[in-house]
Amino acid sequence: MLPEISTKFDDNIARVRNLVKLYTEALAGEGQGRRPVNSSDVLRAATVLLHATLEEFLRGLSRWRLPVASEETLNEIPLVGLRRADKFLLGRLSRHRGESIDNVITASIEKYLERSNYNNTTEVTHLLESIGVDAQRVNDLYPQLTQLMERRHLIVHRADRDDHPGRGFHRTKSIGRRDIARWIDAVVEFAARVCNQLDE
């Protein structure tokens, strides 16, 4: 399972890098100074795709590891068909007659992951701990991951608008290749360290 997760991750990182390459070769232009917003929007798209790459990596790990997680961890996941992980009456299981317990657990995890997202490092740490990864071995990367997550949020929910423009009165926040390069490096290193732990 880990090789499949890693391959999908590598493919998605290649897509992000391709967007940065497109920007560099076709839109960045020559000289210094801020680029037009419609040119740098390719970097904004790369930011959103990079965050999605990180989330998809974490979901892949969850699909693999959560079905065999501890009772305590599974108690946080709602039974398929329920919205919350509260106690449920035995009769609720009648909908799953004939299914194995493993299938019900797997279906519940799949449904749970459909609504999952990772918008901050607290959520990432919680997930890592639930699948047996020591978050202390990756948390030095959290400042870069936090920047990525916060910027992705601003892009997706506020169109990267800057309500407090400074000199030049730009209404959209500046973004550059160096920002993306740092975030890509952090995500790649994060994934490598997590995979190394799971491969030990």
Please report the pLDDT score of residue 185 as a whole number. Answer: 98
pLDDT of residue 165: 58
> What value does the mean pLDDT take over residues 26-39?
64
Can you give the pTM of this predicted structure? Answer: 0.85
- Take residue 35 and report the two structure tokens written for it: 């680029």
Is the domain 2-66+118-199 a CATH 1.10.287 member? no
DSSP state of 173: -
Asked if residue 46 lies in contact with residue 20, where contact means CB atoms within 8 angstroms, the answer is yes
pLDDT exceeds 70 at position 37:
no
Q: What is the pLDDT of residues 80-127, one digit of tens each?
A: 777 776 767 666 677 777 877 788 788 878 887 888 888 999 999 999
Phi and psi at residue 172, in whole multiples of 5°?
Answer: -125, 140
Q: What is the mean pLDDT of the chain?
A: 86
Q: Where are the alpha helices (DSSP H) in 68-130?
A: 71-74, 101-114, 121-130
Measure CA 35 to chain center.
28
pLDDT digits (tens, 9 = 90+) for 165-182: 556 556 788 888 999 999
Nearest to 23 by CA among 2, 44, 3, 7: 44
pLDDT digit string (tens) for 117-160? 889 999 999 999 989 999 999 999 999 999 999 999 999 999 88
Q: Could you state, in order of their start, the residue ranges of all structural domains in the chain?
A: 2-66+118-199
pLDDT of amino acid 169: 55
- The conformation of residue 78, written as its DSSP 8-state character, comes to P
Tell me the Ramachandran region of residue 47: left when phi exceeds 0, alpha when psi lies from -120 to 50, beta otherwise.
Answer: alpha
Q: What is the mean pLDDT of residues 182-191?
A: 98
Q: With cut-offs at 50, 70 and 90, classify the pLDDT of residue 35.
A: low
pLDDT in tens, 50-91: 999 999 999 999 999 988 888 888 888 877 777 776 767 666
Q: Which residues pair with 161 in a beta bridge?
A: 172
